[in-house]
């Protein structure tokens, strides 16, 4: 009897161990879920969105694996990201915190804001004002914003929003170093991104984690809780379930 119990326990432990190994492999090499905790990427990504990120898109670095083990340096099977990609990366400040932003600058590019307009390599990024009913958050505030459809040099389009008052009008020129990238949040005046050199700045190729592909679940954590079943109509954003993150997010 005791032998049977011991055998059952061993078999269960082995099953759990194998399941964990498979989960780690899938998470490290293929897809990893992430939660969106801030409004820096609104209106593309909302607080409470859960997304799947493809780990294989740009190849693999130590940051592809849990706890970033120093098995190797740089990247293997390296593939370069493209303008407009939604990229999860480890912040250079601590090489631990995950951020998601939109890629605006490649190695060697210059980026600058002039009179509130975005310039890439001294050419103004094409943008067109769009009518919207977006309720954009910035912490506990709901600022009045102007929404623009911006078009990057490779044709990728997305919506970025700027505060009607207090928007960043002019900046120094940012020169992206080799093997690094420059990222911006779509919620331009409520995003800590590559403009803030002391906390984020230019992101090394090694720090890239993956490319956001799909929203698989979304609930408004401010308007309601999924545990309050009588309030689900205010909490669950069913229209965002399994939404592919394509070029056009408007």
Q: Is 5 exposed, middle or buried (0-12, 13-18, 19+ CB in 10 A)?
A: exposed
Strand residue runs (E) in the chain:
31-35, 49-54, 86-90, 98-105, 110-114, 117-120, 123-124, 126-129, 145-151, 157-163, 174-175, 180-184, 203-204, 208-218, 243-244
C-alpha to C-alpha distance for 49 and 158, rounded to whole angstroms? 18
Distance CA 150, CA 129 (A): 9
Task: List the one residue out of 52, 135, 68, 102 whose CA is nearest residue 249.
Answer: 102
Q: Find, among 109, 92, 112, 110, the residue nearest to 101 by Cα.
A: 92
Residue in the structure block whose two tokens are 């958050």: 137
- 55, 62, 90, 101: which is the annotated catalytic residue? 101
Known catalytic residue at 61: no
Which 8-state DSSP code applies to residue 125? P
Burial of 149 (0-12, 13-18, 19+ CB in 10 A): middle
Cis geometry, peptide bond prior to residue 43 (ω within 30 degrees of 0): yes
Q: Which residues of 167-183 are buried (b: 16+ CB within 10 A; e: fewer)?
A: eeeeeeebebeeebbbb
C-alpha–C-alpha distance, residues 176 and 105, integer Å: 7
Query: Does the annotation mark 40 as catalytic?
Result: yes
Catalytic annotation, pick one of 38, 39, 40, 235 = 40
Known catalytic residues are 40, 101
């Amino acid at each position: 009897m005791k032998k049977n119990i011991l055998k059952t326990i061993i078999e269960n432990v082995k099953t759990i161990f194998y399941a964990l190994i498979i989960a780690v492999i899938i998470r490290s090499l293929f897809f990893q879920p992430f939660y969106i905790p801030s409004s820096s990427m609104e209106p593309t990504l909302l607080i409470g969105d859960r997304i799947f990120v493809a780990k294989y898109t740009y190849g693999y670095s130590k940051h592809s694996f849990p706890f970033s083990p120093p098995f190797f340096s740089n990247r293997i099977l390296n593939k370069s990201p493209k303008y407009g990609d939604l990229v999860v990366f480890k912040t250079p400040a601590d090489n631990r915190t995950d951020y998601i932003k939109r890629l605006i600058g490649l190695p060697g590019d210059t980026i600058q804001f002039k009179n509130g307009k975005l310039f890439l390599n001294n050419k103004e990024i094409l943008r067109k004002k769009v009518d919207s009913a977006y309720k954009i958050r910035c912490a506990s505030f709901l600022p009045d914003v102007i929404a623009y459809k911006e078009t990057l040099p490779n044709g990728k389009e997305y919506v970025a929003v700027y505060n009607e008052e207090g928007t960043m009008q002019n900046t120094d020129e940012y020169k992206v170093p080799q093997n690094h990238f420059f990222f911006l949040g779509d919620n331009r005046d409520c995003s800590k991104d590559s403009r803030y050199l002391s906390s984020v700045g230019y992101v090394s190729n090694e720090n890239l984690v993956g490319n956001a592909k799909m929203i698989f679940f979304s609930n408004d954590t401010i308007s309601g809780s999924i545990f309050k079943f009588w309030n689900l109509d205010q909490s669950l954003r069913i229209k965002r379930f399994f939404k592919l993150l394509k070029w056009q997010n408007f």
